[in-house]
């Protein structure tokens, strides 16, 4: 066993830097480790680029970082349940890059899988196409969508062992396993920390080999 | 029934037993409540579930939610997965049909439902992938907006969600098929006339022979 990955909230905060690109798992904050988001708020780091499915809610999930003025740019597919995002977008205070949800998932996966990009028909003929290369393959047109990378991924598992092998229950899985592959450093928040051997290897959704830090967190 | 119920009930007749279907949040979700007896569809939710059941009231259960972040049940045949697999189902042609609400739809089958520049910017979520990958795209909308303007246009003016991707438009007044030659009026509600539907539709309509009638009860 390599050295312990167990990390305190204070040690987690020490990993955060101004200007970082951070992927945050979760879908409308379900599957988002809220306590780790709170720690990012407390750290006060600024000029973040966040990659998340959505904009969270005004007072929950990454919405708290947006409300706190810590986010320079948001890359997301849907921001309709956090009106602050549209406000900051329209006033020019925050840059928002809207990406179709399937394309967002696949761009993150492309980075994690070592691919140079993906070809998709999603977004052809729409604003999403602007500035992108159109590639013809087997007689059909596709948009070339490039990989998305991050300095840090903040993800969750419902429970995990001390190596970081984790399980996401139900729909909390969403972007979490994809982001574990696509960031330089991966921080896993989990609600129940288990001993090695206690997590069924066949049920694992977050793979410990990808996890750098494990923080035991509480639901909030 | 109100307009939404009329639309949901009529759309339900378009779904076939055993189909894998993605219903958008809001009116489209209501379609599941009106499936005829003997018709069961498998609901896909893009946040990572097939076999979605019903919305659960009471405390939020974060482990099983729909794409609007609302707690739902999962049926015995259900399964959960990550977002990449979810959109493999959608983009890969494994989803038989999707039902989406809209701001605008036009005679070419273009749909615009994700933003009003400078005003409302919800984002496309999974809609762009759904209109691209679903085998059948059904658009639901009230026939006119609150000011009485047609929602079925010659040409969409808002940023498009998808180009030439819609198959069927269902309103509280009409069922309209998108064909290569334009929009074809297949059915009208039993409380309107062909003349009224034509008057309330900006895009030209080709009349089916005959134009059938659907129930509003």
Question: What digits encode the pLDDT tens for the residues A92-103?
Answer: 999 999 999 999
Contacting residues of B for A127, CB less than 8 Å apart: 159-160
pLDDT at A2: 65
Distance CA A215, CA A193 (A): 9
DSSP symbols for B47-64: TTEEEEEEE--SS--TTS
Is the pLDDT score of A205 beyond 70? yes
How much is the mean pLDDT over chain A?
A: 97
Q: What CATH code is carried by the domain that includes residue B193?
A: 3.40.1080.10
Tokens standing for A10? Answer: 């204070």
Closest CA to A213 of A12, A2, A35: A12
Domain annotation covers residue A1: no
Report yes or no on whether pTM surpasses 0.95: yes
Q: Is the pLDDT of residue A45 over 70?
A: yes
For residue B190, the model assigns a pLDDT of 98
| Distance from C-alpha of A102 to C-alpha of B92, rounded to nearest angstrom | 11
Which residues fall within 8 angstroms of residue B175, CB to CB, at 6 or more apart? B10, B168, B169, B185, B186, B187, B188, B214
Is residue A184 in some structural domain?
yes
Helix (H) / strand (E) element for A87: namely: helix A83-90
Count of structural domains, chain B: 1
Per the CB < 8 Å rule, is B128 touching A27? no
- Which of A28, A170, A175 has the CB atom closest to B80's CB atom? A170
Instruction: Give the SS3 label for residue A181.
Output: helix
Q: Is the pLDDT of residue A199 over 90?
A: yes
Q: What is the percentage of chain B residues whose pLDDT exceeds 90?
A: 97
Does A4 fall in a domain? no
Would you say the ipTM is above 0.95? yes
Pairwise CB contact (< 8 Å): A98 & B123: yes
Domain span holding position B198: 3-214
Q: Decide if A2 is inside a domain.
A: no
Q: Is pLDDT above 80 for A145?
A: yes
Partners of A54 on chain B (C-beta within 8 Å) are 123, 125
Q: How confident is the model at residue B119 (pLDDT cuts 50, 70, 90)?
A: confident
pLDDT of residue B36: 95
Residues B136-179 pLDDT 10s:
999 999 999 999 999 999 999 999 999 999 999 999 999 999 99
Interchain pair B128, A128: CB under 8 A: yes
Mean pLDDT confidence for A8-19 = 98
Chain Cα centroid distance, residue A167: 17
Least confident of A9-23, A126-140, B93-107, B108-122: B108-122
Cβ distance of B129 and A158 shorter than 8 Å: no
Compute the distance between CA of residue B30 and CA of residue B35 in angstroms, rounded to an integer: 10
Nearest-angstrom CA–CA distance, A214 and A190:
7
Chain A residues lying within 8 Å of B74, measured CB to CB: 170
Taking a contact as any Cβ pair under 8 Å apart, which residues of chain B between 87 and 126 contact chain A? 87, 90-91, 114-115, 118, 120-126
* Structure tokens that stand for B41 in this block: 């569809």
Report CB contact under 8 Å: A79, B123.
yes
In a domain, A65, yes or no: yes
Taking CA–CA distances from A220, the nearest residue in chain B reads B62
* Active-site amino acid positions of B: 46
**Mean pLDDT across chain B, nearest whole number?**
97
The enclosing domain of A154 has a CATH number of 3.40.1080.10
Q: Per the structure block, which two tokens stand in for B144?
A: 């006119």
pLDDT score of B196 more than 70: yes
The domain total for chain A is 1
> Residue A32 falls within a domain, yes or no?
yes
Q: Is a pLDDT exceeding 90 seen at residue A3?
A: no
pLDDT(B121) > 90: no
């Amino acid at each position: 066993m390599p050295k312990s990955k167990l990390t305190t909230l204070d040690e987690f905060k020490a990993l955060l830097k101004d200007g970082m690109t951070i992927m945050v798992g979760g879908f409308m904050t379900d599957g988002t480790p809220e306590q780790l988001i709170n720690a990012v708020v407390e750290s006060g780091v600024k000029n973040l680029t966040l990659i998340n499915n959505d904009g969270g809610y005004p007072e929950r999930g990454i919405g708290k970082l947006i409300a706190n003025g810590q986010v320079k740019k948001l890359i997301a597919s849907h921001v309709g349940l956090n009106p602050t995002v549209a406000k900051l977008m329209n006033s020019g205070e925050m840059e928002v890059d809207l990406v179709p949800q399937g394309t967002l998932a696949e761009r993150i996966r492309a980075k994690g899988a070592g691919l140079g990009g993906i070809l998709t028909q999603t977004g052809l003929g729409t604003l999403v196409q602007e500035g992108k290369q159109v590639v013809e393959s087997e007689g059909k047109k596709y948009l070339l969508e490039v990989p998305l990378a991050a300095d840090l991924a903040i993800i969750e598992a419902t429970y995990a062992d001390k190596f970081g092998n984790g399980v996401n229950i139900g729909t909390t899985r969403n972007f979490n396993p994809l982001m574990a592959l696509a960031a330089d450093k991966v921080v896993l928040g989990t609600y129940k920390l288990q001993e090695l051997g206690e997590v069924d290897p066949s049920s694992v959704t977050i793979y410990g080999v990808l996890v750098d830090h494990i923080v035991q967190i509480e639901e909030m | 029934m109100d307009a939404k119920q009329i639309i949901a009930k009529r759309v339900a007749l378009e779904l076939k037993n055993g189909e894998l279907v993605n219903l958008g949040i809001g009116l489209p979700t209501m379609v599941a409540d009106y499936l005829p007896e003997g018709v069961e569809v498998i609901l896909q939710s893009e946040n990572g579930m097939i076999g979605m059941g019903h919305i659960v009231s009471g405390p939020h259960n974060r482990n099983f939610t729909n794409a609007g972040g609302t707690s739902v049940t999962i049926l015995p045949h259900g399964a959960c997965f990550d977002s990449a697999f979810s959109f493999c189902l959608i983009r890969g042609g494994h989803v038989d049909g999707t039902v989406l609400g809209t701001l605008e739809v036009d005679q070419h089958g273009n749909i615009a439902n994700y933003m009003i520049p400078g005003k409302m910017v919800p984002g496309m979520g999974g809609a762009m992938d759904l209109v691209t990958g679903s085998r059948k795209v059904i658009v639901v909308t009230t026939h006119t907006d609150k000011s009485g303007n047609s929602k079925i246009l010659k040409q969409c003016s808002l940023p498009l969600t998808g180009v030439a991707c819609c198959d069927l438009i269902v309103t509280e007044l009409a069922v309209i098929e998108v064909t290569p030659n334009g929009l074809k009026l297949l059915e009208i509600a039993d409380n309107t006339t062909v003349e009224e539907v034509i008057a309330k539709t900006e895009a030209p309509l080709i009349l089916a022979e005959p134009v059938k009638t659907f129930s509003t009860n």
